């Protein structure tokens, strides 16, 4: 079992990616703030996990602790988390065969807690 904690307010994919039309084709890109948050999460993961990259199927439990009780759609928060784990803890997010997402509140310490188990 691998336990990780990512500090900071969880951010929705909608806040991290933007799109615009380029030469008539839609282009999606990560914003400057999105890149900074992804890099911060990757450093936090690297500082907490020093093992080998998992290559088999895994199940995950992700607990999102928000700083406010504002209504959040929790399915928009997983993409960045999976991207930050790829290449460090897991090979890629296609290995995730079971996922449990939970939403909670902690005004003093917003964060993301992740538990990963090999199957």
Angle at 67 between CA 30 and CA 14, to 5 degrees: 25
Residue 40's domain comprises: 2-118
**99, 110, 24, 36: which is closest to 66 by C-alpha?**
110
Q: Which residues pair with 58 in a beta bridge?
A: 96, 118
| CATH number, position 60 | 3.30.1330.70
Total domains present in the chain: 1
Residue 70: phi and psi, rounded to 5, are -60, 140
- Global pTM? 0.84
**71, 78, 69: which is closest to 11 by C-alpha?**
78
pLDDT digits (tens, 9 = 90+) for 41-93: 999 999 999 999 999 999 999 999 999 888 888 888 888 899 889 999 999 98
The confidence score (pLDDT) of residue 77 equals 84
């Amino acid at each position: 079992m691998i336990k990780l904690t990512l500090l900071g307010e969880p951010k929705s994919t909608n806040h991290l990616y933007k799109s615009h039309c380029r030469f008539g084709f839609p282009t999606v890109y990560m914003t400057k703030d999105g890149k900074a948050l992804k890099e911060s999460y990757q450093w936090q993961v690297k500082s907490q996990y020093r093992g080998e990259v998992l290559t088999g199927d895994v199940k995950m439990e992700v607990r999102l602790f928000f700083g406010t009780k504002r209504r959040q759609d929790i399915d928009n928060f997983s993409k960045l988390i999976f991207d930050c784990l790829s290449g460090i803890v897991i090979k890629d997010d296609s290995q995730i065969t079971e996922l449990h997402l939970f939403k909670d509140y902690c005004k003093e310490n917003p964060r993301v807690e992740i538990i990963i188990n090999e199957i």
